[in-house]
Amino acid sequence: MSTDTPTIVLVGHGMVGQRFLEALAERGLTATHRVVVLCEEPRPAYDRVQLTSYFSGRTPEELSMTDMEFIKDHGIELHIGDPAEHIDREARTVTARSGLTVTYDTLVLATGSYPFVPPVPGKDAEGCFVYRTIEDLLAIEEYAKAKATTGAVVGGGLLGLEAAGALKGLGLTTHIVEFAPRLMPVQVDEGGGAALLRTIEDMGLSVHTGTGTQEIVTGDDGAVTGMKLSDGSELATDLVVFSAGVRPRDALARDCGLNVGERGGISVDEQCRTSDPHVFAIGECALASDGRVYGLVAPGYEMAETTAATIAADEEAAFTGADLSTKLKLLGVDVASFGDAHGATEDCLDVVYADSRSGTYKKLVIGRDGALLGGILVGDADAYGTLRALTGSVPPIAPEQLVLPAGSGGPAQLGPSALPDEAIICSCHNVTKGTIRGAVTDHQCTTVPEVKKCTKAGTGCGSCVKVLGQLVNDELEANGVEVDHGLCGCFSQTRQELYEIVLALRINTYQQLLDRYGREGARGGDGCEICKPAVGSIIASLAPTIGADGYVLDGEQASLQDTNDHFLANLQKNGSYSIVPRIPGGEITPEKLIVIGEVARDFGLYTKITGGQRIDMFGARVEQLPLIWARLVDAGFESGHAYGKSLRTVKSCVGQTWCRYGVQDSVRMAIDLELRYRGLRSPHKLKSAVSGCARECAEAQSKDFGVIATSNGWNLYVAGNGGATPRHADLLAQDLSDAELIRLIDRFLMFYIRTADRLERTSTWLERIDGGLDHVRDVVVHDSLGICEELESLMAAHVANYRDEWAETISDPEKLSRFVSFVNAPDTPDPVVGFVPERDQIKPDLPLLTIGTRPLEGSATR
361 and 466, same domain (yes or no): no
Q: Binding residue per annotation — 464?
A: no
CATH of the domain at 58: 3.50.50.60
- Domain range for 164 is 128-244
Report pLDDT for 850.
33
SS (H, E, C) 764-793: HHHHHCCCHHHHHHHHHCCCCCCCHHHHHH
Average pLDDT, stretch 662-676?
94
Contact 663, 710 (CB under 8 A): yes
Residue 485 domain-assigned (yes or no): no
Residue 638 vs residue 400, higher pLDDT: 638
As for how many domains the chain has, the answer is 7
Residues contacting residue 594 through CB under 8 Å, at least 6 positions apart: none
Query: Considering only CA atoms, which of 846, 841, 839 is closest in space to residue 145?
Result: 846
Please, what is the end-to-end C-alpha distance for the chain in angstroms?
55
Contact 642, 610 (CB under 8 A): no
794 and 665, same domain (yes or no): yes
Residue 853 confidence (pLDDT) above 60: no
Q: How far apart are CA 403 and CA 412, in angstroms?
A: 10
What single-letter DSSP state applies at residue 484? Answer: -
Residue 54 confidence (pLDDT) above 80: no
Mean pLDDT of the chain: 87
Q: How far apart are CA 552 and CA 537, in angstroms?
A: 9
Average pLDDT, stretch 777-791?
94
Q: How far apart are CA 835 and CA 792, in angstroms?
A: 48
Q: Calculate what percentage of the chain has a pLDDT beyond 90.
A: 48
Report pLDDT for 813.
87
Residue 317 domain-assigned (yes or no): no
Residues contacting residue 361 through CB under 8 Å, at least 6 positions apart: 191, 192, 194, 195, 196, 352, 353, 354, 355, 376, 377, 378, 379
Report pLDDT for 2.
45
Report pLDDT for 356.
74
Least confident of 212-221, 338-347, 438-447: 338-347
Least confident of 133-142, 211-220, 356-365, 549-558: 549-558
**Residue 290, Cβ density class (10 Å: 0-12 exposed, 13-18 middle, ≥19 buried):** exposed
Residue 170 confidence (pLDDT) above 90: no
400 band by pLDDT with thresholds 50, 70 and 90: confident
Q: How far apart are CA 248 and CA 255, in angstroms?
A: 14
Q: How far apart are CA 348 and CA 254, in angstroms?
A: 42
What single-letter DSSP state applies at residue 698? Answer: T
Average pLDDT, stretch 218-241?
94
240 and 379, same domain (yes or no): no
Residue 318 domain-assigned (yes or no): no
793 and 845, same domain (yes or no): no
420 and 543, same domain (yes or no): no
Residue 484 domain-assigned (yes or no): no
408 and 356, same domain (yes or no): yes
Residue 118 domain-assigned (yes or no): no
Query: Considering only CA atoms, which of 275, 298, 279 is closest in space to residue 110?
Result: 279
258 band by pLDDT with thresholds 50, 70 and 90: very high
CATH of the domain at 659: 3.30.413.10
Residue 410 domain-assigned (yes or no): yes
CATH of the domain at 474: 1.10.10.1100
Contact 187, 376 (CB under 8 A): yes
DSSP 255-285: HTT--B-TTS-EE--TT-B-SSTTEEE-GGG
DSSP 83-141: -EEEEETTTTEEEETTS-EEE-SEEEE---EEE-----TTTTSBTEEE-SSHHHHHHHH
Contact 114, 132 (CB under 8 A): yes
Residue 672 vs residue 315, higher pLDDT: 672
Residue 294 domain-assigned (yes or no): yes
CATH of the domain at 348: 3.30.390.30
Hey, what amino acid is at 300? G
The pLDDT tens digits of the residues spanning 555-591 come to 777 777 766 677 888 887 677 888 999 999 888 999 9
627 and 664, same domain (yes or no): no
Residue 705 domain-assigned (yes or no): yes
Q: Binding residue per annotation — 531?
A: no
Report pLDDT for 855.
32
CA distances for 198 relative to 364, 458, 685, 728, angstroms: 21, 31, 26, 17
Enclosing H/E stretch for 479: none
Contact 569, 561 (CB under 8 A): no
Q: Binding residue per annotation — 272?
A: no
Q: Binding residue per annotation — 653?
A: yes
Residue 88 confidence (pLDDT) above 90: yes
Q: How far apart are CA 787 and CA 783, in angstroms?
A: 7
**Its pTM surpasses 0.85:** no
15 and 153, same domain (yes or no): no
Report pLDDT for 856.
31
From 244, 267, 296, give the residue that closes a domain.
244
Residue 329 confidence (pLDDT) above 80: no
Least confident of 25-34, 176-185, 379-388, 750-759: 379-388
Report pLDDT for 216.
95
From 414, 430, 450, give the residue that closes a domain.
414
Q: How many helices (H) and strands (E) does the chain have?
A: 30, 37
515 and 557, same domain (yes or no): yes
329 and 459, same domain (yes or no): no
Query: Considering only CA atoms, which of 388, 382, 437 is closest in space to residue 413?
Result: 382
CATH of the domain at 598: 3.30.70
Q: How far apart are CA 728 and CA 700, in angstroms?
A: 10
What single-letter DSSP state applies at residue 305? Answer: H
The pLDDT tens digits of the residues spanning 830-846 come to 777 888 888 888 888 75
823 and 837, same domain (yes or no): yes
Residues contacting residue 98 through CB under 8 Å, at least 6 positions apart: 79, 82
Q: How far apart are CA 427 and CA 419, in angstroms?
A: 15
Report pLDDT for 97.
95
From 414, 438, 457, give the residue that closes a domain.
414
The pLDDT tens digits of the residues spanning 411-469 come to 445 667 777 787 778 877 778 888 999 998 888 888 777 888 888 887 766 667 777 88
Q: Where are the beta strands (DSSP E) in 341-392?
A: 348-355, 360-367, 372-378
237 and 134, same domain (yes or no): yes
SS3 assignment, position 177: strand
499 band by pLDDT with thresholds 50, 70 and 90: very high
Report pLDDT for 3.
57
